[in-house]
Amino acid sequence: MQSAVTVTPARIPDLLLGLATVRPVFLWGAPGIGKSSLVRDFAESLGLECVSLLGTQLAPEDLIGVPQIRDGRSVFCPPEAIARDEPYCLFLDELNAATPDVQKAFYSLILDRRIGSYELPAGSIVIGAGNRATDNALARPVASALVNRLTHVHLRASAADWLIWAGENGIHPWVTDYVTDRPDHLWSQPPKTEEPFSTPRSWHMLSDALHSFGPDIDEDTLKVIVHGTLTPAHAVSFCGYAKIVRHTFGIEAILKGDASWPAGLGDRDLLYYLADAFRGRLVKDLPRQREHVSESMRQTSYRAKSLLVQLAEISVEVAQTVIADDADGQPVLPAWFLVEAARDMPRLVEARR
């Protein structure tokens, strides 16, 4: 399921307060962006215990319960996890990954707040969550009858929201500083192949590993844990950033002419990171239209082209990433700058194509 309207994590508590207290809600979102944590935190804010049921681990009888004979009649006894005397938050995690039979078993629980003769205590809330089929996650079609029993809220990752949370939860400063510089690296689309990809959850895992190994972590170990948690391109960039942190070597020094591009074979991850930072600086500093180019900006473009030439002498491939299009094939840098780059550096522009 997709929606043109999405919300950031910061909006979820208020939305749930107005929705989940009167009707069941379903949170849609990509893996690792914090759906489960948001539900648990919301339940805690209301003073309710959060009881999680994982759709992929349930059978219909886990909800309906087992029959007992009372006065010559069979009575289904719902499981202890559900049949409670005090109000609570029932969290149906990965609901859309459950089998069709399990989804059907949820119908009365979601709409009528009851299973058999058991009814949820007054003040209880029901919230479901799941990934989308487009996220390459386990997701089954949801029957229209179930879709119509829920209010649907679509969640998107937000670097601004996550950084506020990270500052309050002891996330490693390398991680927070990096995501501050590259907020677009907080989350990436789940790949079609089996490889790590960046999400708020994976950055949290990396932070835990960095805290565990401490400040003296060696470069080889750092590469193992970074490439084991992040999107490959983000991992290369983060390793370069870590090298900068350790050696006080940054893009500012290169832009000012106080340092040169690192040319050693062992510095290739650092070179990729600096090239990415250089690209970001050009996007920020260069105007989109030529007529808005001031004299100082003209000097900046001259310096940028000179640095591109120097970078291409070390690696055409790395230099090409500076002027490359985005994932949709659209130019990132201003067209007038790309035209000048094509005139002054035809070899580099040909490689881009």
pLDDT (tens digit per residue) in 160-209: 999 999 999 999 999 999 999 899 999 998 888 889 999 999 999 999 99
Amino acid (one-letter) located at 335: A
Q: pLDDT at position 349, please? A: 58
Give the residue-averaged pLDDT of 339-352: 69
Give the residue-averaged pLDDT of 247-259: 76
Range name among 4-8, 102-106, 220-224, 225-229 with the lowest pLDDT average: 102-106
Closest-CA residue to 39 (of 159, 155, 171)? 155
Question: What are the tokens at 265?
Answer: 């074979």
Q: pLDDT at position 1, please? A: 61
Contact predicate 230/223, CB 8 Å: no
Of the pLDDT bands very low, low, confident and very high (cuts 50, 70, 90), residue 72 is low
Give the residue-averaged pLDDT of 111-138: 82
Chain centroid to CA 112: how far? 34
pLDDT(347) > 80: no
Q: Tell me the C-alpha to C-alpha distance, in Å, between residue 80 and each of 50, 83, 189, 266.
A: 14, 5, 39, 58
Percent of the chain with pLDDT over 70: 91
Count Cα atoms within 13 angstroms, Cβ side, for 152: 20
pLDDT(328) > 60: yes
The sheet with strand 25-28 has its strands ordered as 50-54, 89-93, 125-130, 25-28, 151-154
Question: What are the tokens at 62?
Answer: 């886990």
DSSP code per residue over 114-153: EETTEEPPTT-EEEEEE--GGGTS---PPPHHHHTTSEEE
Q: pLDDT at position 350, please? A: 58
